Amino acid sequence: MNVKKFTASTSREALRKVRESLGPDAVILSNRQSDGVVEILALANDDAASLAMPAPHSPMAEPAPSLDLGAIPAVPAGRVEPRFEDELPHMSPPVAAKQAGLPQQPQRRVVASHSSLATKVAAAAPAPAPAAPAKAAPSIDANQIAAMVSAAVASAKESAAAEMSGMMNEIRAMRGMMETQLAELSWGATQAREPHKTAVLRSMLAAGFSASLARYLIEKLPANQRDAADSLRWMKTVLTRNLQTMANEDALIDQGGVFALVGPTGVGKTTSTAKLAARCVMRHGPDKLALITTDAYRIGAHEQLRIYGKILGVMVHSVKDEADLRIALKELKNKHTVLIDTVGVSQRDQMVTEQVSMLQGADANVKRLLCLNATATQETLSEVVRAYQGSGLAGCIMTKLDEAAAIGNVLDVVIRHKLNLFYVSNGQRVPEDLHLADPAYLIDRAFKLKREIVNTQYQDAELPLLMSNDNHGLREVHLG
């Protein structure tokens, strides 16, 4: 058996050495890594097969030899018997064995002292029984060898996969670092070479738009735009074109259907439901409208909508689960418009999925309108959209416009996720404080709110770092 050791810096290189030296059928006995070096002990396939069964004429296949010491005469006590080697110095080993009374063994030399021989004779007894042959070593069948090979190959694959994963993570980290540094260098040069882009960048960041959207649009800025004012007008035009809104509410009010207002707690779903209900009553009358609430958790939530319904002369129905909703919608199928006020659930709550499933599982085409709080941050609004997206949103309503210090954050999310903005709400009055979304007005308002902090929000040294962020998900912005 010839066990060989192979060392290399990686598992792949060590396995390649094993394959080149011992062939593709080599058996891997061990695989370990120490001090950054991979060490593999391997055995050729022929040597591994010889372990399964010894050769017929090999010493391993023969029984162990036994010596019969009964013919050796006892030695009187106190006498030191000379060694056979000294007593018969000129005799060959077979002749010495014959005179000593031992059975002849081919080419075997017996050397023993008196004390050791006496001990063996005393232990042998007058009629010693012949020694039993030694048991043969247990054989290893082909299935065990195959299992060992499979385990070794699986261990090698796992080690190689882990090493490859670590290497890919390091490459990604290096790539991100290089992209960031290159972007910083690029925008550092842009500040000195093209100051109008820096001015536009400051305006977009002050308005609340993300740095990635600002970078994408600035990179697409036409070459003939060299003035800061002209560049900003081009930016506003592009943003207005990409802000999808409802041209008129006839598609919503006149067409009718089942609409459910969804969103987190406190974004103004109940108030927006009442405002939409008032518009429907003014257009078609109270008999064509029905209100449904699923908010049975908050104290007084059902009563608030019931009061609005009483003022408008519309019946309010309360449901608890999908079965109740299905029954209520079946009873109200003759209504022109049905508005559903849902319970507010955090975007990180598992109940969001259950609520979306309940609305989609009803036997009616329920169109979901997402209420977006204009005072929330971009990260929060993006989480809300992803949580409530489901199979698709019919549109969204921007609420609390009057409370927002900047609205570029919510407009950025609407543009990124390609949402259809139906209405904007700027107060608590029903139904006066609900307006159709005007994209040009909203974009212009976003840049006017923070005009006084455009040049003081960020330092010049901070702009290259902001512009080094990625801009994934912005390739669908229509530039025109």
The full DSSP string for 239-308 is HHHHS-B-S-TIIIIIT-EEEEEE-STTSSHHHHHHHHHHHHHHHH-GGGEEEEE---SSTTHHHHHHHH
Per-residue pLDDT of the chain (480 residues; tens, 9 = 90+): 578 888 988 888 888 898 888 888 887 878 888 777 888 888 787 776 665 555 555 544 555 444 444 444 444 444 444 443 444 344 444 444 444 444 444 444 433 344 443 344 344 444 444 444 444 445 567 788 888 888 888 888 888 888 888 888 888 888 777 766 666 566 656 655 677 887 888 888 888 888 888 888 888 888 777 788 888 888 899 999 999 988 887 777 888 888 989 989 888 888 899 999 998 998 888 888 999 888 766 655 667 788 888 888 888 888 888 888 888 888 888 888 999 888 888 888 888 888 888 887 776 788 889 999 999 988 899 999 988 887 788 889 999 998 888 888 999 999 989 999 999 998 888 888 899 899 999 999 988 876 666 555 666 656 665 666 554 445 455 555
Cβ neighbours around 213 below 10 Å, total: 22
Tokens 């040009």 sit at which residue?
Answer: 440
- The two tokens of residue 33 are 């890594």
Distance between CA 427 and CA 434 in Å, rounded? 8
**Nearest alpha-carbon partner for 231 in 188, 198, 189:** 198
Cα–Cα distances in angstroms (integers) from residue 321 to residues 61, 249, 342, in the given order? 79, 30, 11
Element (H, E) at 100: none
Rounded to two decimals, the pTM is: 0.57
Pairing of strands 434-436, 421-425: antiparallel
DSSP letters, 237-248, are HHHHHHS-B-S-
The CATH fold of domain 246-437: Rossmann fold (3.40.50)
**Residue range(s) in the chain whose domain bears CATH number 3.40.50.300:** 246-437
| CA dist list (Å): 93 to 22, 65, 216, 328, 468 | 44, 17, 99, 112, 92
